[in-house]
């Protein structure tokens, strides 16, 4: 079966750095996405990795290791507005998105 694991909840302090991990086992792989979702809103795109390595975009970076079935999202200089759920999703061999359950990130002042 297809499976994506990420922590249910994480807490971090404003201004700090947090890393959200995601491991996956899917039928084929056509890339891994990270989305941010605030309560009551649709997901918004953060990053897409299809090759191994680190992709940096401002305060957010995403890493992928295909051999390990592993990715992480790194958030730097945390702000209160970063409090949200972060969803890891893998595009499988049929180009369907397989979703993780999401990690609720709580930022404390």
- Binding residue (CB under 8 A) for another protein from 5, 14, 41, 56: 41
Residues in the chain: 109
Q: Are 78 and 14 in contact (CB under 8 A)?
A: yes
Q: Any residues with CB less than 8 A from the CB of 30 and at least 6 apart, and which?
A: 50, 91, 92, 93, 95
Cβ proximity to another protein, 12 vs 36, nearer residue:
36
74 burial level (CB within 10 Å; 0-12, 13-18, 19+): middle
| Pairing mode of beta strands 84-91, 103-108 | antiparallel
Q: Is 101 in the site for another protein (CB under 8 A)?
A: yes
Cβ proximity to another protein, 63 vs 86, nearer residue:
86
Q: Is 48 in the site for another protein (CB under 8 A)?
A: yes
CA 28 to chain centre: 19
- Binding residue (CB under 8 A) for another protein from 1, 51, 80, 95: 95
- Binding residue (CB under 8 A) for another protein from 1, 40, 53, 109: 40
Residue with tokens 């959200």: 20
Q: Which stretch binds another protein (CB under 8 A): 16-24, 43-51, 54-62, 76-84?
A: 43-51
Residues engaged in binding another protein (CB under 8 A) = 30-31, 40-45, 48, 50, 87, 91, 95-97, 99-102, 104
């Amino acid at each position: 079966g297809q499976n994506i694991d990420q922590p249910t909840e994480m807490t971090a302090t404003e201004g700090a750095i947090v890393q959200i991990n995601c491991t996956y086992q899917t039928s084929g792989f056509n890339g891994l996405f990270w989305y941010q979702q605030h309560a009551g809103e649709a997901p918004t795109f953060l990053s897409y990795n299809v090759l191994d390595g680190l992709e940096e975009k401002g305060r957010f970076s995403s890493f992928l290791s295909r051999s390990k079935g592993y990715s992480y999202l790194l958030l730097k200089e945390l702000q209160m507005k970063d409090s949200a759920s972060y969803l890891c999703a893998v595009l499988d061999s049929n180009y369907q998105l397989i979703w993780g359950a999401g990690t609720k990130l709580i930022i404390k002042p």
